[in-house]
Structure 1
Amino acid sequence: MSEQPGRIMSAEIAEQPAVLRRILDQGAPRIRDVAAAIAARHPRFVLLSARGTSDHAALYAKYLLEIRLGLPCGLTSMSTTTAYGAEPDLRDVLLITVSQSGGSPDLVASTGAARKAGAITLAVTNNADSALAAVSEYHIDILAGPEKALPATKTYTASLLSLYLFAEGLRGSDGAAAQGLPQLAEAVLSRQEEIRTLASRYRFAGRMVITSRGYGYPTAKEAALKMMETSYIPALAYSGADLLHGPLAMVDNVSPVIAVVTDGHGGEALQPVLDRLRGRGADLVVIGPKHQVDAASAGFVLPTDGVSEELQPLLEILPLQLLAYEVTIARGQDPDAPRALAKVTETS
C-alpha cells in the first residue's frame, strides 16, 4: 500500500503532458526514420498484436492505418502460432507489436514466429532493451519513463502518440498537427475538481456501460479497463453500433452510461445511439464537445476546437483516467494496490 492512496497513479497521470512533449521533441525523428524505412518496403497488409491496455492502443492504430492510409489491418490471434503451431505466410505483411514492457512471452514468441514467416516486424515498447525489441526488425521507444502503478496511464497516451507519428510518417507527413497536444493535455488535467464532482455519480454504481464509435472506441475500451482494475466496477465497453444490437436492453435509469463523443465522423455516427439512450432515460454522461455535454445528464467538455478527430483520443482518455482514480478513492480503495492483482510486467 502506498502511504497516500493512489499516490503513484496520480503522479503518473500528471506526467503525461511532459511525456507527450518528450516524444515530440526527442522521439519523433527516430519514429519518422522507422516509418520511412518500412514505407519503402510497401507492406500490403498490417497485423497488430498486443495485450491489455496496449491492445487498445493497437486498435487505435488500426483506425489510423485504415482511415489515413487505406491499409487493411487485422488484430492477431497469438495462440494460432504459440499454441497451435500455425505457420501463416506473412511475406510483405507488417506486424506491429505493442507492449509497454516488451517482455510478455507470448508476444515475443509470436513476433519471432512472424519474422521467420516473412513479416516486417515492428515493436512499439517502453523498453528499448526488451526481448520484444531484440526479436523485432524495427523498434520504436515510446519514452514514457518508468511506470510503477498497476493501471497503465502515461504509457497508453505515449503509445497513441508514437503510433500516430508512425502512421503519419508512413504517408510522408511530419505529424506537426500533434504539436499542441502537451499544452491541451495539461489544461485537461488541471480540471481534476470537475472530475471529482463527476465521480460522486459512480461511487455506489453496480455496473456501467461505456460506448463510442470510430476513433473514440479504443478510448471506451481503455476507460472500461481502467475502471474495472481500479474500482472493481464491472464496466462494459461497446461500440455504439453493437450497443444497439441487444445490449441496449440492459440500459436503464440506474446504471450509468458514459459516451465518448469525438468531434467528427465518429461522433456523428454515434448520434442515433445517444438519442436512443436519452429516450430510455439513461443516466448519460458525455466526454466530448460542449454541445454534446449540454444535451446529456452531465459530462466533461473537451477542447476539441482545432484538434483533428484522429488526435482527440489522446485527450479523451485523460478525464477518464482521472475518473477511475477519483471513483476508486471515493469508494475507500487504493488504485495503487488493487486486491488480488499485480502488474503483469514492469515497464521501464
Structure 2
Amino acid sequence: MSDTQAHVPGRIMAAEMAEQPAVLRRILDEGAPKIREIAAEIAARNPRFVLLTARGTSDNAALYAKYLIEVLLGKPAGLTSMSTTTAYGAKPDLTDCLVITVSQSGGSPDLVASTKAARDAGAITLAVTNNPASPLAEVSEFHIDVLAGPEKALPATKTYTAELLALYLFVEGLRGGDGAAAKDLPELAAGVLARQAEVRALAERYRFAQRLVITSRGYGYPTAREAALKLMETTYIPASPFSGADLLHGPLAMVDNVSPVIAIVPDGKGGEALQPVLDRLRGRGADLVVIGQREQVDAASAGFALPAGVPEEVQAILEILPLQLLAYEVTIARGQDPDAPRALAKVTETH
C-alpha cells in the first residue's frame, strides 16, 4: 500500500463499515452457540433484575439491550451510574442481579472497577467486549466476544452492530429462543450498505448544517442516540437526540421551518408511537428526513427506505447503517477526516 493510499481521508472507517455483513455472519455462525450456552447458564440462576453498564457507543448498545430485556423478558432493567461505586463508594446489594458491562475495548478503568464492585456485591457479571483478553473480561464471571475483529477508526461502526447482535442473541437465549429474527441480517445489511450513493445525495442537505435534531421511539431510540454521537464526533455538527415523547415535552419549540430533523421510524409499535411526533414536525414545516419504511419516506422531505418485513426487535441493526454512512459522507463533504476526529482516543480511560 502506498503512502498516498494510507492517508486517504475516511479509508479506514469506510473499510470497517463495509465489514459489517461479514461480522454479523461470523457472530451467527461462530458466536451464537457460545452465547446460547452462557445465556442458558445465567437463565438457570434466574436473576431478578438486570443492570447495564457502558460508556459512549456501547452505552447506546446497552440501551438497546434494556428494551430487549424489558419487552421480551418482562424483567426490570436499568442503566447504572458508575460514579455511585467508583467515586462515592456506594455498596449496593446486588444479590440475584445480572450486571452486563458492554465495552468495545474492555479497558476503561471505571468499567472494570464498577464490574468488580458489582461482582463483590453478589451480582452475576457478564462482559460483552471485542477483546477477550481485556481487564474487563478478566474481572467478569462470564464474557461474550462480539468477534468484530480489530477496529482502527476512532468512530465505532462494526463493533456497535456486533454488540447489538450479540446482545439480541443473548437475550433470546435467556428466554430459550433461537434468534431466528436475525438470520437474514448479514444479507440485508450488505444490501443497505450497497446503497451508499443514496446516502451521499442525502448528505448534501447537511454539509452546511449548524445543528441537527434526531428522534425516534422504542427500539429506534438507541439508534437516534448512536446516530447523533456518530455525527457529532465525525462532522462536529451539534446533534441532539430525543425520544419522540420527550421532543413533544418542550424541545419541539426549537424546531422551525428550516430545522433539519432526522426521524428513525421503526416498522412496528415504535413507529406507531412516533406518528404524532412526525405529524407535529410536518406541521411546523421541518426539513424532515425519515429512515424507515417506504411509505414513511415518501411522506417526508426525503429519506432512506429500509428493508420491509424485518422483526422490530432487530431493525436497529439495520437502521444505524445508513446513518453511519451519512456521518461519513457529511464529514468527507465538509473536508474533514472521519478516521481521526479531533480530541478523541480509541480507548477512553474514564475513572
Q: Which TM-score band applies after superposition, normalised by the shorter structure?
A: over 0.9
**One of 80, 87, 102 as aligned partner of 1:83:** 87
Distance 2:286 2:259 in 1: 7
Distance 2:145 2:171 in 1: 15
Q: For 1:113-192, what aligned pairs fall within 5 Å after superposition?
A: 113-192=117-196
Q: Which stretches in structure 1 are left out of the alignment for 5+ residues?
A: none
Q: Secondary structure at the residue paired with 2:125?
A: strand
Distance 2:345 2:116 in 1: 27
1:310 is matched with which residue? Answer: 313
Q: For 1:308-347, what aligned pairs fall within 5 Å after superposition?
A: 308-345=311-348
Distance 2:93 2:313 in 1: 32
Distance 2:336 2:114 in 1: 37
**One of 53, 74, 81 as aligned partner of 1:49:** 53
Distance 1:144 1:232 in 2: 26
1:32 aligns with 2:36: yes
Distance 2:342 2:175 in 1: 45
Q: Which stretches in structure 2 are left out of the alignment for 5+ residues?
A: none
Query: CA-to-partner distance for each residue in 1:277-336, whole Å, 9 max, x for gaps?
Result: 00000000000000100000000000022x100010000000000000000000011101
2:245 is matched with which residue? Answer: 241
- The RMSD of aligned alpha carbons is 1.0
Paired residues in the alignment total 345
Distance 2:213 2:270 in 1: 18
1:255 is displaced (CA, Å) by 2.1
Distance 2:79 2:10 in 1: 33
1:253 is displaced (CA, Å) by 2.0
The answer as to whether partners of 2:258 and 2:285 remain within 8 angstroms in 1 is no
1:112 aligns with 2:147: no
Q: Which 4+ stretches in 1 moved above 3 angstroms?
A: none
Query: CA-to-partner distance for each residue in 1:187-214, whole Å, 9 max, x for gaps?
Result: 0000000000000000000000000000
Q: Secondary structure at the residue paired with 1:195?
A: helix
1:269 aligns with 2:283: no
1:341 is displaced (CA, Å) by 2.3
Query: CA-to-partner distance for each residue in 1:199-240, whole Å, 9 max, x for gaps?
Result: 000000000000000000000000000000000000000000
- Amino acid aligned to 2:303: G
1:176 is displaced (CA, Å) by 1.8
The TM-score normalised by the length of structure 2 is 0.97
**Percent of paired sites with the same residue:** 81
Distance 2:313 2:218 in 1: 9
- Amino acid aligned to 1:91: T
Distance 1:126 1:237 in 2: 26
Query: CA-to-partner distance for each residue in 1:64-102, whole Å, 9 max, x for gaps?
Result: 000000010010000000000000000000000000000
The answer as to whether partners of 1:290 and 1:301 remain within 8 angstroms in 2 is yes
**One of 9, 12, 18 as aligned partner of 1:8:** 12
